[in-house]
Amino acid sequence: MFGLYQRQKNIMSKATLDTEFKQQFGIYDLSEFLNVVSLVDQPRLKFEPDYVVVGDSTGISRAKYFFSDPSVLTSPSKDIVMPEPEVSFTLTNQTLSKIKRAASVLGHTEVSISVIDNVLSLSVVDTNNSTSNAFSVDVDGEYKDSNFNFIVNIDNLRLIPGDYKVNISSKLISHFVNQQSQLEYWIALEKTSFYGE
């Protein structure tokens, strides 16, 4: 098993892989590395002292990806303990794709998670303009109090494709757990979020 962590200003992720790596290496931008791996079909990794060659099974396509010095990377000293969530729902890959597409079409950068007409909804919005166009998708979920509006920046939803169980705490932290693999994300909410006010 291999644990992999990434820390940005507001995102932490952890993946446990059933793969043994023969050397330690640092990845500065996990999203970029995973996108590089996705450039080729059936990726094969060949490790060199300072980089990895990501190639396809035919040997026609390949990418060279340089490692970062592990000493310059930040890794957690202990596991994150998620606070008790006030909101829980399932975010399917299809719903996430719709949200990202709507954000691109509307030019908005935020997703509002709130209750609309007694239903939990994810809305692509411009929180600075109450008369801007919006797109909403209802999701099955649970919430303790209907008086909340949790805001997530769209750029923070660059997740590996899949269905996720999402828990959100009023402490302005969310936990996304991939239902198909051992992959988790902890994503900070925007400071404009509120709960129970």
Number of domains in the chain: 2
pLDDT of 42 over the 60 cut: yes
DSSP-assigned beta bridge partners for residue 119:
116
The answer on 97 and 28 residing in a single domain is no
Residue 30 sits in which domain range? 2-72
Helices (H) and strands (E) in the chain, counts: 2, 15
Decide if 81 is inside a domain: no
Could you tell me the end-to-end alpha-carbon distance of the chain, in angstroms, rounded to an integer?
A: 44
| pLDDT tens string 119-154 | 999 999 999 998 999 999 999 999 999 999 999 999
Read off the pLDDT of residues 179-194 as tens digits, 9 standing for 90 and up: 998 889 999 999 999 9
Same domain membership, residue 96 and residue 154: yes
Going by DSSP bridges, is the β-strand pair 194-195/44-47 parallel, antiparallel, or unpaired?
unpaired
Given 72, 95, 112, which residue is the final one in a domain? Answer: 72
pLDDT, tens digit, 9 for 90 and up, residues 57-98? 888 889 999 998 877 777 777 778 899 999 999 999 999 999
In this structure, the answer to whether residues 109 and 132 fall within a common structural domain is yes
Both tokens assigned to 69: 């010095």
Residue 181's domain is classified under what CATH number?
Answer: 3.70.10.10
Which is it for strands 44-47 and 51-55: parallel, antiparallel or unpaired? Answer: antiparallel
Residue partners of 1: CB distance under 8 A and separation at least 6? 16, 17, 18
Give the DSSP letter of residue 7.
Answer: E
Q: Does 166 score more than 90 pLDDT?
A: yes
| CA–CA gap between residue 26 and residue 33 (Å, rounded) | 11
77 part of a folded domain = no
Q: Are residues 112 and 54 both part of a single domain?
A: no
* 150 & 181 share domain: yes
How high is the mean pLDDT of the chain? Answer: 88
The verdict on 111 and 62 lying in the same domain is no
> Residue 2 pLDDT more than 50?
no
Tell whether 43 and 119 lie within a shared domain: no
State the CB neighbour count (10 A cutoff) for residue 146.
12
Percent of the chain with pLDDT over 90: 57
Of 25, 42, 72, which residue constitutes the final position of a domain?
72
91 & 184 share domain: yes
Kindly give, in sequence order, each residue whose CB lies less than 8 Å from that of residue 162, ignoring residues fewer than 6 positions away.
Answer: 93, 178, 179, 180, 181, 183
